[in-house]
Amino acid sequence: MNNPTLNYGKLVRTSWDIVKKHPYLWILGILAGSGGGGTGYNFSDYSNKNMSGSKSTTFNSVKHWFGEVAGASTDKWQQYADTGIITTFVVIMLIVVILFMIIAVIFRGGLIRSVVNISKGIEGNFSKAWHLGLETWRPLFWLHIILLLVVMAAIMPIVVLIVLATISLTAKVIAIIGGVIWVILLLLFMLAIGLIFPFTERILVLEQLSPIESVTHGIDFFKKHWKEGLTIYALNIGLSCLYLIFIVLAILALAVPIVLIYFVFHTISAPVGVVIVSLLILAALILLVVVQGFFGAFTSTIYTGAYVALNTHFKS
């Protein structure tokens, strides 16, 4: 039997047309976190402020503030701050992260299945995508948990080597050599995950397999279609570079008129200038988020289209 081949130009054009004609996919791209990662928080300002003082001083000031709010002295606060408040904070943050992960996997599954339906001529909407995502969110969630645990396990040896480096000079040399080797292996491992995991997700969602079955099928799928997998991966890297250049240019293009408008209105009325500029910045941020959603849905659709095209199971 002949292996199916990909027309990459057609794949990109079709993916673009699907996403362009269905704006609800943009929202799915935002909520699914497709094409992006990280927390998005910026602690640089906080870190710069801490550079001028010790960490203990800053932490003591925080405890003192909490003590005043709770109506307790700093000494009394010391007795339960590290266990009570910090533990509660960690638990709350963990719950928030889990909730965001659940929401993300629901919309990732909904995005994948919506694209397949659209390619079959079945129109959808945001509500239908939500319900489609609900059907596979549990195994997809556990697939992401497995991935997270595997990555954490792969990073742990680096922590061990860092500790080993503090023992003696000989141990430090061994740790450095071992660290370099392990980092290289870790980068190769992360590359393998980047190549295989997108197809593993689609196997789970579209074939409705368990997380472990999806991993094994994903590895087998990539072994069979490794050339196409590498090409799609390289294509997405190229598109991501173009997208990054576009975002930088867009930010510059939006920043210049906003600054000019601020100075014009600032000379007339400072409060009015601040309000107008704040609204313009908010509009610019919303626009950038929408663009990110479009691009996330676009790259996700490319992977979904590639998987469907390489599987005669989905061909009518």
Question: Does the pLDDT at position 252 exceed 70?
Answer: yes
Q: Rounded to whole angstroms, how far apart are CA atoms 203 and 212?
A: 11
Of the chain, the percentage scoring pLDDT greater than 90 comes to 56
Which two tokens mark 250? 């867009």
Amino acid 101 reads: M
Residue 56 to residue 54: CA distance in whole angstroms: 5
What would the mean pLDDT of 17-42 be, rounded to a whole number?
75
Q: What is the pTM of this model?
A: 0.76
Q: How far apart are the first and last CA of the chain?
A: 17
The rounded distance, in Å, linking the Cα atoms of 196 and 192 is 6
pLDDT given at position 64 = 53
Average pLDDT taken over every residue of the chain? 82
CB within 8 Å of 178: residues ≥ 6 apart: 157, 161, 164
For the chain, the structural domain boundaries read 8-314
User: Which tens digit of pLDDT belongs to each residue from 51-102?
Assistant: 344 444 444 554 454 455 455 445 555 555 567 778 888 889 999 999 999 9
Crossing angle of the two packed helices 137-164 and 169-207, in degrees rounded to 10: 170
Q: Which of 92-96, 131-135, 266-270, 272-276 has the lowest mean pLDDT?
A: 266-270
- The stretch 298-311 carries a mean pLDDT of 93
More confident residue, 169 or 142: 142
Q: Is the pLDDT of residue 123 over 80?
A: yes
